[in-house]
Chain A
Amino acid sequence: MRRFCVYGKGGIGKSTIVSNMSAALAGNNMKVMVMGCDPKADTTRNLMGHRIPTILDAFREKGPDEMRLEDIVFQGYNGVCCAESGGPEPGVGCAGRGVITAADMLSRLGAFEKINPEVVIYDVLGDVVCGGFAMPLRNGLADDVYIVTTCDPMSIYAANNICKGIKRFAERGEVFLGGIIYNGRSAVDEPSIIDSFAGELGTQVVGRIPMSDLVPRSEIHHKTVIEYAPDSEIADTFRNLGRSIIGNKNKVVPEPLSDEELNEINRKVEDLFREKALKR
């Protein structure tokens, strides 16, 4: 079983990448399971065509003893098994504990034994804000982590922070950094910035997702690009990304950058903005 997590700053495109990659891998005859670990519960919407009841919805309504696997895992496009942890209403309770509870429930109900997926992908919210959101990094739930980032300074900053969390668990041999996924959807699209960032972290860029209007258009229809425009170039990009990650053997303990090193990257980004302005 190949198990990995996708992290990255909020709104960076994690769910889009996870859902498209899942659809692509499943289209390649792999049994894929996706678990969204975000209270917003929108990772699997484009695979299912609609929102699904979350694990914590079932936990709240039925209680841990009455829940069944079919209440929380649903089959979406290309047979991808979809689950969402869900979470409390904003501002109450503990969302981090919710992720831990949801993962416990999946194990308790024997989800992995019964579904027997070849690939499990965890899509985790913005940042490793607490122990709960580090849950997929622990207890052998995942082998490696992929971080989505654009060239935006705050996105790089978040990716670097996530690496600090990963390093803690990587040093214990629990999970490693598999690489960076570059999303070109930002004001500055300069892959070399992220190549250099990845190099400094001690990792690689496993895939580059260019900006494409097919992505929002497919999402308007609650579909992945793989389903909406299967013959498009962007669909192939997601297929290639999936293949790269499945075949990736390069897993490292990341070396997060210092503030000064991050500032150096920011300066390069600023230079690019200046050049862009001059061209206008």
Chain B
Amino acid sequence: MDGGKFFGAFRASSGITDAVVLNHVPVGCNWGAGMFKSFSNQSDIRNACTVMHEREIVFGGEESLREALIRADRLYDAPLILVVAGDVPCIIGDDIEAVIGSVSLKKDVIWMEAAGFRGSMRSGYEDALINLVPVMEQCDQAANSVNFIGFCPDDFKVEADLREIKRLMMDSGVAVNSVISNCSYEELKMAPAAELNVVIGQGTELAKQMKDKFGIPYIEVGYPYGLRGSRDLIDAVSDHMGLGRDLDREIDLQPFEKIYLYLNDIYGTPTSVVGDFHAKSMAEFLCRELGFEIEVLSTLDDDYNFEEEVKNSNSAILFGTSFEQDLAKEMRIPLVRFSYPIFDQVWIYDDAPYAGLRGAVCLTETILNTVMGFEDKLSDLELRA
């Protein structure tokens, strides 16, 4: 399910971890976007809203925005306000730039037009990142350092995955300069200090602009699921920097050996994978490393009815978002949640990633436990039916 441009811009903006995101939208849009973010970070309340009602639609939302800006400036201890303008102000033509220019604020302000009807969530994410380029400062380059581009603060297991990716990088002699968008305002400003931009799944437009403006080259890689995915990431970065690291010697297969009989049992399982850009990398891991047969792969960029295709497939397990739970129930197959949005599970332990070498173990464990626990769940479903 694609939340449209507003969701993408909101997610990109929320990733500036010390900024206030001021949504210039009716309350429903604000709640919808914020809800997915708050499942596993309920103490993060850097989210304000102009709460547009009918009055603002008829008379314009400029006054509400002005008031909200002044209040956000006063109430939040933050260096930056990011104004995300959704459908309504874009339809009625609120002059947001003029409003921002009319108030004297202590904080920096960046605004972005993000009407949901103007494009996909991905385009909202890309455009929002482009809006952040002007605050980036030309600075001295730190050798062997990279930025990661493509993350969102509400991605499933994002903290754990980043911790693992940073560990892999550090062990390869590479420092992570900024993670976009999951960094502070200061880290964002200093993003041009990196030697290389590593784009994972989305954010290519930002990487292109940073290349033009700051001369930073970029590479595009898949999400590092599994042993192969981790190796691909490290190889791509190491090759670019001429570091050379043989990951194969470091891979610990012991956890997998402990359950080799089960791995043998699930080999060849027909599977469908649905999600954002993570889906392709997940499918590659399942196929290459666990030997699953991929029946349907939908990255949601495709404008087709994947549900019908999944239903008509022989899939015995489904990988997706929380939105796929009804489909999995209907098909009476287990669902492994891995892609945004996930709103029926929490992810708070930052040492249990899905990405990287450790992630390969956690992910395999999750898959096996989901399959093994499904017997009970299925009986429960049948009882209820």
Contacts and interface: CB of A to CB of B under 8 A. Distances in A.
Nearest to A95: B58
A63 B58 CA distance: 13
A88 B60 CA distance: 8
Contacts of A101: 54, 58
B55 A59 contact: yes
Contacts of A89: 59-60
Interface string A92-129: 11110110010000000000000000000000000000
A101 B95 CA distance: 22
A88 B92 CA distance: 11
Interface string A61-94: 0011000000000000000000000011100111
A46 to B, nearest CB: 26
A64 B94 CA distance: 23
Contacts of B59: 56, 60, 88-89, 92-93, 98
A137 to B, nearest CB: 20
B261 interface: no
B91 interface: yes
Interface in B56-80: 56-60, 62
A233 to B, nearest CB: 42
Contacts, number: 41
Contacts of A88: 58-60
Contacts of A95: 58
Task: Determine the interface band of chain B, counting residues with CB < 8 A from chain A.
Answer: 10 to 19
A94 B92 contact: yes
Q: In the complex, which of the residues B55, B56, B58, B94 has the most CB atoms of chain A within 10 Å of its own CB atom?
A: B58
A95 B93 CA distance: 12
Contacts of A93: 56-60, 92
A9 B367 CA distance: 68
Nearest to B54: A101
Contacts of A59: 55, 58
Contacts of B62: 92
A19 B57 CA distance: 30
B348 to A, nearest CB: 42
A1 B212 CA distance: 69
Nearest to A132: B58
A54 to B, nearest CB: 11
Contacts of B55: 59-60, 63
Interface in A236-278: none
Nearest to B55: A60
Nearest to B95: A92
A59 B94 CA distance: 20
Nearest to A63: B55
Q: In the complex, which of the residues A63, A88, A92 has the most CB atoms of chain B within 10 Å of its own CB atom?
A: A92
Contacts of B60: 88-89, 92-94
Nearest to B58: A98
Contacts of B95: 92
Given A87-B58, A92-B93, A93-B60, 10 more contacts: A59-B58, A60-B59, A88-B60, A92-B59, A93-B59, A94-B57, A94-B91, A97-B58, A97-B92, A98-B59
Interface of A: 56, 59-60, 63-64, 87-89, 92-95, 97-98, 101
21 contacts: A59-B55, A60-B55, A60-B59, A63-B55, A64-B54, A87-B58, A88-B59, A89-B60, A92-B59, A92-B62, A92-B92, A93-B56, A93-B57, A93-B58, A93-B59, A94-B57, A94-B91, A94-B92, A97-B54, A101-B54, A101-B58
List the 6 closest pairs (A to B, CB-CB), nearest first. A92-B60, A93-B60, A98-B58, A94-B92, A93-B59, A88-B59
